[in-house]
Structure 1
Amino acid sequence: MSDRCKAEMRNGSLEELLADLHKVLAVEASFPQDDLSLYYLIDKKHSVDESYVPTHLVKIQSNNFYVVNKKDIYLREDAEAALREMAGNAKADGVTLDVSSTYRSYAYQKNLFDYWVKVDGLEEAERESARPGTSQHQLGTAIDFGSIDDDYDKTPGGRWMYEHCGEYGWSLSFPKGYEDVTGYRWECWHFRYIGIEACKFQKKWFGNVQQFMLEFIDEWKKSEA
């Protein structure tokens, strides 16, 4: 774990931490076993293969629960089920969630990253976009909501997501003030599905910072291998 992760982890007993960790890992047994774990660490240092495509992708379109802003986009089946439940409850609160970007293939991400390099230069592109193979979108469990800009947090959807997303297993991936941790600037529109138990664990022990928790789980698994 990074020094900042260690410094910002909640103080508590080792027994309590491990008990909560084992709850998170126990849930993992219910995940699809023919696909990557919802806890898979993917970032600037950890990638997936160019050929990787999630096994259980489903095409999504606008419905009674949420709005889809693009054609021919896909999401992993378990993430879609969680999105549907979350969006249904948001709608009951008078809020409609708009889905703008979901699964991206390696090739799609390469074209996107290359585009931002041409527009903004490499240094700025690295803050704005993932290199191919390192994007959470390739996992099929990440969503960009709304207009994909810095004003999303001021919208009804953005405010509702910040307050309630963890109740349905969704987590903000790139929070404000943690660019040195995630490698990316604040993205108020980008959420990843990791499951309810992991969201509880993340909030209780890691200051609700997804990257800290995923690094911790990854290092724990490697130490136990």
Structure 2
Amino acid sequence: MKKQTILPVSALVCAAALALLFFAFGRKGGNTGAAETAFLTKARDTTAVQKTAEEVQRERDEERARLIISDMSARAQETIVIDDYGEFIADLKALLEEDAQNPKDDLSLLTLVDKTHPLPDGYAPSRLIPLVKNDAFNVIRNDLSLRPEAYEALVIMGRAARNDGVTLLASSTYRSYEYQKKVFERWVAIDGLAEAERESSRAGTSQHQLGLVIDFGSIDNTFANTRAGAWMKEHAEDYGWSLSFPDGYEDITGYRWESWHFRYIGKKACAFQKKYFGDIQQFMLEFIDAWKSL
């Protein structure tokens, strides 16, 4: 009889406990289904917030890019073609990330230097490699040098040219501030200031001071009609070399056409320049300089 008496009491206790629990949850959340719904809704809201943050960043980046382009020259705006800003921003960030991997103790390969953007006072590359005649290229004299990144790219490009039966001749490379000052003064003495400004750079505003530039061949526009000139026009970008002063862009670059003057910016930068900036180095470097400044 004891067992028969205990069982009904236990059942009553359990029933009462369940009733209390149901009442408590009913007061707080209505029912279990409502609680689960609230939890799932909160999780979805959190995900939505994360996606919204990413979208906001994309919108900011696009607005930033559009603002920069709107401040560039009319000719730049006509030249720049961006069909998909999401893709453009992704390509830009990949390029800048790659450039950031270069030595931290020297200027970026994408540094803008021109008549209105001089180099820091006293700048000289942290490392320079002397150029000597070898199986990849020839040199016109023995006092030429380049930054390591440019030197390595020149060797690879020179060997590729040799395989095609073309020999590249390096005629001018790194120039110090003092050397460039003498070069500019010589041009002023020969042609006068106005003409010198079209042919040469004032000290501190020359790409040559970066240690990333090579003047090839005869250092005049007959180079364009040589086998080396034709080869460079077709293949230079494949090795990270970009023509700095193209024909018909003196109003943009500040200099006459220089078919012999190539600057090393890297293969990814060459592809980026060609894809979005009409293959005009000046436009790309101006954009990147402004992007970094904002």
2:91 aligned to which of 9, 20, 39: 20
Q: Which has the higher strand share?
A: 1
What is the TM-score normalised by the length of structure 1? 0.97
Counterpart check, 1:150 vs 2:217: no
- Report the more deviating stretch, 46-55 or 91-100: 46-55
1:175 aligned to which of 237, 246, 259: 246
Q: Which has the higher helix share?
A: 2
Q: Between Structure 1 and Structure 2, whose CA radius of gyration is higher?
A: 2
Aligned 1:40-79 pairs, distance under 5 A: 40-79=111-150
How far apart are 1:50 and its partner, in Å?
A: 4.1
Query: Do the aligned partners of 2:213 and 2:264 also contact (CA within 8 Å) in 1?
Result: yes
**Higher relative contact order by CA 8 Å / sep ≥ 6: 1 or 2?**
1
The one-letter code matched in structure 1 to 2:92 is: L
Aligned 1:1-225 pairs, distance under 5 A: 1-223=72-294
- 1:39-92, CA deviations, whole angstroms, 9 ceiling, x for partnerless residues? 000000001134111011111111010000012111111100000000000100
Percent pairwise identity: 56
3-state secondary structure, aligned to 1:138: helix
- 1:7-45, CA deviations, whole angstroms, 9 ceiling, x for partnerless residues? 110141111111111121111122111000000000000
3-state secondary structure, aligned to 2:101: coil
Aligned length, in residue pairs: 223
Q: Structure 1: which 4+ aligned runs deviate by more than 3 Å?
A: none
User: Which stretches in structure 2 are left out of the alignment for 5+ residues?
Assistant: 1-71
- 1:159-207, CA deviations, whole angstroms, 9 ceiling, x for partnerless residues? 0000000011000000001000000000000000000000000000011
Query: Do the aligned partners of 2:100 and 2:108 also contact (CA within 8 Å) in 1?
Result: no
User: Which stretches in structure 1 are left out of the alignment for 5+ residues?
Assistant: none
Query: Do the aligned partners of 1:50 and 1:106 also contact (CA within 8 Å) in 2?
Result: no
What is the TM-score normalised by the length of structure 2? 0.75
The one-letter code matched in structure 1 to 2:163 is: A
